[in-house]
Structure 1
């Protein structure tokens, strides 16, 4: 069960949520370990709107992988356009939280996701990026968070 946003006056519309997911540079993946301890780690990511999926890549082993093997439920938070408003003791921002289940992708989907990373982060260096991808692909793993629920919150002033 997912909770509704408490501040309905700051609720983002679906179009703004998707725009924030495309624009943000990174997000924080949150998982839980076997003892119930939370773990959040910042990651680069790509969003596939058609599949309602967030992709991220990582090394072959690590704490988040251990957590996801135990419990594949996760959340992913992005913040875009954050600006401190010191005279108002506040922050102008847009934030999105995605909830879903994480799984490792198959080889075909892995190449598609890694190519999407090149397009998002290194579009001007695609030729060099493809060579890098070919050399490094065996050393990384790619996962997807299949989005079951999205919430977005915005403060403009």
Structure 2
């Protein structure tokens, strides 16, 4: 898949699977909502948890998004498109955190921007925002 199409799929995907590994190498994959902007994937999460423990031990991650998928039973095949981003994850704060939360709001709740901004003002401090700087992107499609 061409890079531009892979970036478009990453930008338009509904959810992705973040894959991390702990200090001993044990893999962990978790689905989550996200936004892709300016060459980076952003997501929000609680202030504590397994994925954050893993990121502290090893910030290298992969992030997979599957777009269209359709099983073709009579052909013993599947029509699909997917993209995998590789990079390093780190927490962002301040203005970048606020921008990322608004981008998530615009993607997932575009009809509730005013209420969402009020929610961010009230509850935003309770969340962490993580940025994955994408260093490599691969995409694949079959039809």
- Structure 1 stretches of 4+ with a deviation exceeding 4 A read none
1:69 aligns with 2:56: yes
Which of 119, 123, 141 aligns to 1:136? It is 123
Unaligned runs of 5+ in 1: 1-11
As a proportion of its length, which structure holds more strand?
2
TM-score by length of 1: 0.89
TM-score by length of 2: 0.97
Q: Shift of residue 78 of structure 1? A: 0.3
Unaligned runs of 5+ in 2: none
Q: Shift of residue 106 of structure 1? A: 2.0
Question: What aligned pairs does 1:1-157 form with structure 2 within 5 A after superposition?
Answer: 12-48=1-37, 51-156=38-143
Query: How many residues in Structure 1 have an aligned counterpart in Structure 2?
Result: 143
Q: Larger deviation: 69-78 or 17-26?
A: 17-26
Q: CA RMSD in A?
A: 0.8
Structure 2: distance between partners of 1:132 and 1:80:
30
Structure 2: distance between partners of 1:34 and 1:15:
34
Structure 2: distance between partners of 1:32 and 1:44:
19
